[in-house]
Every structure is written in C-alpha cells, then in structure tokens.
Amino acid sequence: MRTRTWPAALLLTLTTALLACRLAGTDALTPVPQLLAFLPWLLAPTAAALLLTLLTRWWPGTVWGVLLLGLIAWYIEPYGKTADPTGPPVASLRVLTSNVEFGQATPALIDAVRRHDPDLVFVQECEYTCDAALKKELAAAYPHRAAVPGGGSEGSVILSRHPLRPTSGVPATMGMPGAIADVDGHAVRVQLAHPMPPLPGQTDLWQRELGRLRDLAAADPATPTVLAGDFNASQDHAAFRALLDTGLYDAARLTGHDRTPTWPARTTPAFGAQIDHVLVSDDFTATRTRFLDLPDTDHRAVLADLTLHSPR
C-alpha cells in the first residue's frame, strides 16, 4: 500500500507546504513566491492526488485532499473589501498600464493609446527608443510626463493629459516615477510600480521594493491615489496584500476580474497570473476593466475606467 500511495502523498505534501506559507502570511524563500503566483492552479495537482487516494483506497489521504481543496477554494476568493465612496463624483479617469518588454511593444502601445484614449498611461520597460517614440508620437495628446530614463527594463514613463507635478517617486532597481496630477482641480497622486521580480536569490530585494511602495501608499492616505504598473506580485503574495492593506483597491477586483491573468501573455487567458494592476484609494470607483493583448510583450496591458469622488 505504501508504494501505491507515495505519489499522492508527495503531491499533497508539496501543496500543503505552499498553503502553509499562504496561511502564515509569508512569502518565504524560493520557490515559494514564484509558485504562490499560480496558487489557483494548485487545484490540478490536489485533484490528481485526491483521485489517486480514491483509487488506492487511502482514506486518510482522501480526507487530507478534500481539506486542501477547500482551503484552495477559500484562497481563490478575492482578497480585501471593495471601495465604497460616499461623496459625489467629480471627475473621470481612464488609466492604461503596459509593460512593453524592453520597448519591443512600443508601436502596439501607441496604437492602443490612440484607440482607447486613456487620460493616464503608465509604461514599464520603456527604454530610450521607446521613450523617444512616445515623445514623437504622443506628445501633442499627452503634454505632461514623469519619467525615469533607462536602458533595458530600467526605463519607465507616466504620460498624462492632466498637468503633473513630478515627485521623487520610489527608489528601485527599475524606474518607478511618481507625480501629483491636477485632475479638474483635484490633486491625485499617481505612482508607477515596477519592483524587481522575485528571482531566485533576489526575493529580499523584491520584498523590499514592494515595501517601499507600501510605505509611499501609507504615508499620505488622505490624497486620492492611483498606483499602477507591473507589480510582479499577485493577491497571493503577502507583500502585495500588505500594500492593499494600506487602503488601496484593485480596479480589476472592483469590476469582477480579480483572477484574470496578465502574465505570461503567451498563455493567457487560459493560464497565468495577474501581476499587472491598477490600484486606487477609496476615493475612486471602477466601472470597467479590460485586458489588452499587445504583440511583442509578455504582459497584457490593463485598461481601467475610474471615477473620482469628493471627500467624505
């Protein structure tokens, strides 16, 4: 019996270890953060293990598998509450965020911007040629910008129809510029997010840079905030949940798309993780979120329609 049940026991043990980290609220060490991004897909090995326990009549394993399925189903539910502003609407914003993968998807992004007409555009991995193309093609429609120039994945740009007062942004390995936007007379903090991914051996850096975004969000909760970009994190990462716990809400969550994958684009929407987000303070409601498939990048772009409400 022992030799017949070991495959099921192995699958259940691996799933249990990952869920234990999720339950404890820790991202732990490699490979935990990498695997937690795909937590809903733990249903597959757990279901396979459960089937093996039934075939081998290993009843303790069956109970174990049922408990794990229930826990996974619990964690698949959206994290956090939904925003509920009580003040009247005062302005609308359409926000687009896109990781253009070393600038390769810049032409596709420019077409998407012209097609969807966002008010704010957050661009990650916008290296020098991408930056120059955005200036040439979109400067007339988007006269205001905040940027961190850089090559490869280090460059980032915020484009805006509304006047911007640049801030110091967030120090990081890759550019994370920020600004205060004047949206119809209302000050809105806008911040681009692009922390390092949780690469093996660099999970501390990933957590530290997400922590800096959290500190920025917590520093001034009274100012309406839009924080958008490639977070390299999902709601199943403790470091990202800590960011949400400052009082931010995911536009995808607010519009019922909390599990729609954005990466890797070549396997979405069938398989992937949602690591690109538009986060907003509770001064906003979100009416629609769309996911755009742009060629030549491994990320889907996120387009969110937001409404700013007056203070309570």
pLDDT of the residue at 245: 96
pLDDT of the residue at 86: 72
pLDDT of the residue at 297: 98
pLDDT of the residue at 17: 96
CB 33 within 8 A of CB 198: yes
CB 50 within 8 A of CB 63: no
pLDDT of the residue at 164: 98
Q: How far is C-alpha 230 from the geometric centre of its chain's CA atoms?
A: 6
pLDDT of the residue at 2: 65
pLDDT of the residue at 118: 98
User: Strand 120-124 and strand 89-99: pairing?
Assistant: parallel
Residue 46's Cβ-count burial label (10 Å; 0-12, 13-18, 19+) is: buried
The DSSP call for residue 264 is S
pLDDT of the residue at 4: 76
The H or E element spanning position 291 is: strand 284-292
For the chain, list residues with pLDDT below 70.
Answer: 1-3, 312
CA triple 282-277-80, angle to 5 deg: 50
Global pTM reads: 0.95
Q: Strand, helix or coil at 13? A: helix
**Residue whose token pair is 């396997």:** 267
